Chain A
């Protein structure tokens, strides 16, 4: 009996000590985190990844994964189109000397299942966003760690699926990292830390821009079915990409949510289609997002050639403002702090940007190998929904609210995926009807 109570006591003492120790470690860890972004993932047993979606970004993600540290392999590929897959396979061979067994190359709308079942530890999801919820769910249920590109859904139904499976991933101890690179960039992280510590005071407003030229489009070919033509031209179809506010501008909206610490309650937006050549999307949006306490964020995005381009962010606080990337100003515009750059970094505008793509995978592999899982599913789902609520407001001309979006039944895309005609609404949205 005293044995029992003594053991109990010892357990408790050890536990208490452990907790104290862990708490200490965590707080030190938090302080050091920014400066000490790992330059490579730690070594460990081989981790095998499979890629779903073999386009340029998918291929890039596979290369980034291989660059993240030692003992990392890409062993399976999946895509809807064989030509895309073979192109990716050749690029991986050329760039990284990786040979993918043809038995582990899967083509078709069900390729993701085969990749997941091919004995991999990690799945890289890089298809058009429409497919992400389905792929994410399957990967989580199969117990795979996941890297998934942004955005993670094109509609509220998809967002709910991501949120649910994000919780499921957490419950299963899986790591989930997404492609919002700014959160993996040391300059942004350092700026964030300063803003959080109150350097610019309370946040009162924000502006964010993704104004750029036309992206790209693919004209349909006679031998393609409508579905094939749409998927190959996915950045121009809302049901596949979510429209460019979701597909690209999410980087800025994610940043706003991150710095402000929550998502907006409401959105009222405008948008239109002036120059886009194909598909059913708009090519410009302007949204007023209202966060709690009447913090307004004005968001703009445009994909039209020959206009003033600007991809940047600004957050204003009671004592000053920041570009969120690397500089903090006081209220009069005088620079108060700038992220210290080495000469190499000064000469290369994209120094951190390109490294962030690898950093995402370094952080993912580190989480897996150190058994400290990270899970970005909720933050990316919320950012994607932020963009979606802006889009829906612009499309309808109505103010949208977070609660209404979170509980909305809106679900885009066809019910069946058979190569042929696609039964979806293809007209361009008109507000106020």
Chain B
């Protein structure tokens, strides 16, 4: 080897070392929390991180942004870093950060895409540390059995941002509020077929029912419309609210305890954590209850009021929506534009029937079992049809705050996703009362008229 070649080789080595050094420096520089924050315009992510156990803990351990939001080195770290870098650079220069829906990005289905499970496991390799609680054991066993579909953040959502919330049974929800002004003594009496206000005796809970005249209609999608005749019915002005649902929980709460049951109705177990997702209760629609729980609610309400409340059939729901939005094309005043949570009924205008939120807010349970084809025509006209076949999924109508606008149609129908919505429930057997992984379903109640039907 000549002298020249040796020099060239040496130079090459020096250059390579230099490049390597610069690369390392650049990587270190762009991996600091300060660097992440210099761009990341959502201040709350920094402050909420400082509240979290990954910053504020007894050991003084500080877990930096990249420790969770990038995979460990050697497991796709540089690839993901490059991907995130290009994405963020583009977004920073070409998009308006105030248009982002940060709340939505914090929902588990989004959070699991920017938190790397391999990174969780790198620091927390033990699934069953010796001090794990009994409930933790059950939950981690569930994870162990289903780790192809489960992600750590499905359950540990607030572990990196915000104060640590230890999930536990929410008994607080069952504490009766003692500062009640009004206490109704009797339920409403229906004398005529007109709107009325139902009052639940010995409680402060009341709600409005709207009269819907029966009639002939066709229900179904475009070319597959089925002719039918519906009897008159009342329908809830709003989706069943937390005010109403919490009373049911309080009066029928059970955990293998039946002494509090009313007329043999043993109700829901107390939920885990906040079933309202922290969005607030009151007149907002009650959510995350299972279809079964909704039907038990109707039975309870019927006993309490001496009427026969029930879930609407798909036909009744579609018929009400046809009437309510007959001459309306622009839905903007009737459907909230909030995309990450439910809203109160007052936030939108009442439709032609006087109902709120038939479309949007929460998907509403119907009594019908979900079948692909739905109602089938018969030789004569269908009278008050309902599909009650075997099957654990039911019809949902109306779309929710998560739904695209084209779902806000009277003929739009979808199915509950029972198994998917129970994905993270670790209990054996799983709860029959609460969906662990669905926060945009609720229901509206109806009442046949006359009641002898």
Hey, which bits of chain A sit against chain B, CB under 8 A?
1-2, 4-5, 140-141, 143, 160, 163-165, 167-168, 171-172, 406-409
B17 engages A164 (CB within 8 Å):
no
Docked complex Cα distance between A384 and B258 (Å): 36
Identify which of B17, B126, B130, B429 contacts A2 (C-beta below 8 A). Answer: B17
A164 engages B428 (CB within 8 Å):
no
Q: Which residues on B sit within 8 Å (CB–CB) of A406?
A: 145
B130 engages A168 (CB within 8 Å):
yes
Instruction: Produce 1/0 per residue, B330-358, CB < 8 A to A.
Output: 00000000000000000000000000000
Q: Least Cβ distance of A415 to chain B in Å?
A: 13
A171 engages B429 (CB within 8 Å):
no
Chain B contacts with A in 122-140, Cβ cutoff 8 A: 125-130, 137, 140
Q: Which residues on A sit within 8 Å (CB–CB) of B140?
A: 164
User: Which residue on chain B has the smallest CB distance to residue A403?
Assistant: B145
B21 engages A5 (CB within 8 Å):
yes
Q: Which residues on A sit within 8 Å (CB–CB) of B55?
A: none
A407 engages B130 (CB within 8 Å):
no
User: Which residue on chain A has the smallest CB distance to residue B127?
Assistant: A167
Query: Can you show 22 pairs from A to B with CB atoms below 8 A apart?
Result: A1-B21, A2-B17, A5-B20, A5-B21, A5-B24, A140-B130, A141-B130, A143-B130, A160-B141, A163-B141, A164-B141, A167-B127, A167-B128, A168-B126, A168-B130, A171-B126, A171-B127, A172-B130, A406-B145, A407-B429, A408-B428, A409-B429
Query: Is B388 close to A, CB under 8 A?
Result: no
Q: Which residues on B sit within 8 Å (CB–CB) of A165?
A: 128
Docked complex Cα distance between A164 and B142 (Å): 10
B144 engages A5 (CB within 8 Å):
no
* Closest 3 A/B residue pairs (Cβ): A168-B128, A171-B126, A141-B130
Q: Which residues on B sit within 8 Å (CB–CB) of A164?
A: 128, 137, 140-141
Q: Least Cβ distance of A380 to chain B in Å?
A: 17
Identify which of A5, A140, A141, A407 contacts B428 (C-beta below 8 A). Answer: A407
A409 engages B428 (CB within 8 Å):
yes
Q: Which residues on B sit within 8 Å (CB–CB) of A2?
A: 17, 21
Q: Which residues on A sit within 8 Å (CB–CB) of B24?
A: 1, 4-5
Task: From B128, B144, B429, name the one whose CB has the most chain A CB atoms within 10 angstroms.
Answer: B128
Interface of A is mostly: helix
Chain B contacts with A in 411-437, Cβ cutoff 8 A: 428-429
Task: From A163, A164, A406, name the one whose CB has the most chain B CB atoms within 10 angstroms.
Answer: A164
Q: Least Cβ distance of A130 to chain B in Å?
A: 19
Q: Which residues on B sit within 8 Å (CB–CB) of A140?
A: 130
Q: Which residues on A sit within 8 Å (CB–CB) of B127?
A: 167, 171
User: Which residue on chain B has the smallest CB distance to residue A1?
Assistant: B21
Docked complex Cα distance between A165 and B128 (Å): 8
User: Which residue on chain A has the smallest CB distance to residue B141?
Assistant: A164
Q: Which residues on A sit within 8 Å (CB–CB) of B145?
A: 406
User: Which residue on chain A has the smallest CB distance to residue B131?
Assistant: A141
Docked complex Cα distance between A1 and B20 (Å): 10
User: Which residue on chain A has the smallest CB distance to residue B140?
Assistant: A164
Docked complex Cα distance between A143 and B17 (Å): 47
Docked complex Cα distance between A409 and B141 (Å): 14
Docked complex Cα distance between A408 and B428 (Å): 7
Q: Which residues on B sit within 8 Å (CB–CB) of A408?
A: 428
User: Which residue on chain B has the smallest CB distance to residue A2?
Assistant: B17
Task: From B125, B140, B428, name the one whose CB has the most chain A CB atoms within 10 angstroms.
Answer: B428
User: Which residue on chain A has the smallest CB distance to residue B125?
Assistant: A171
8 additional contacts (CB under 8 A) given A2-B21, A5-B21, A164-B137: A164-B128, A168-B128, A168-B130, A171-B125, A171-B126, A171-B127, A171-B128, A407-B428
Q: Least Cβ distance of A270 to chain B in Å?
A: 28
Chain B contacts with A in 1-30, Cβ cutoff 8 A: 17, 20-21, 24
User: Which residue on chain B has the smallest CB distance to residue A171?
Assistant: B126
Chain B contacts with A in 110-130, Cβ cutoff 8 A: 125-130
User: Which residue on chain B has the smallest CB distance to residue A8?
Assistant: B24
User: Which residue on chain B has the smallest CB distance to residue A406?
Assistant: B145
Docked complex Cα distance between A163 and B144 (Å): 10
Q: Which residues on B sit within 8 Å (CB–CB) of A163?
A: 141
Docked complex Cα distance between A143 and B131 (Å): 12
User: Which residue on chain B has the smallest CB distance to residue A408?
Assistant: B428
Docked complex Cα distance between A168 and B126 (Å): 8
Docked complex Cα distance between A141 and B130 (Å): 5
Q: Least Cβ distance of B14 to chain A in Å?
A: 10
Q: Least Cβ distance of A136 to chain B in Å?
A: 13
B144 engages A167 (CB within 8 Å):
yes
Docked complex Cα distance between A383 and B58 (Å): 43
User: Which residue on chain A has the smallest CB distance to residue B144?
Assistant: A167
Q: Which residues on B sit within 8 Å (CB–CB) of A172?
A: 130
Q: Which residues on B sit within 8 Å (CB–CB) of A141?
A: 130
Q: Which residues on A sit within 8 Å (CB–CB) of B144?
A: 167
Q: Least Cβ distance of B282 to chain A in Å?
A: 37
Docked complex Cα distance between A171 and B128 (Å): 8
Q: Least Cβ distance of A191 to chain B in Å?
A: 33
Q: Least Cβ distance of A165 to chain B in Å?
A: 7
Q: Which residues on A sit within 8 Å (CB–CB) of B429?
A: 407, 409
Docked complex Cα distance between A2 and B126 (Å): 35
Docked complex Cα distance between A2 and B14 (Å): 11
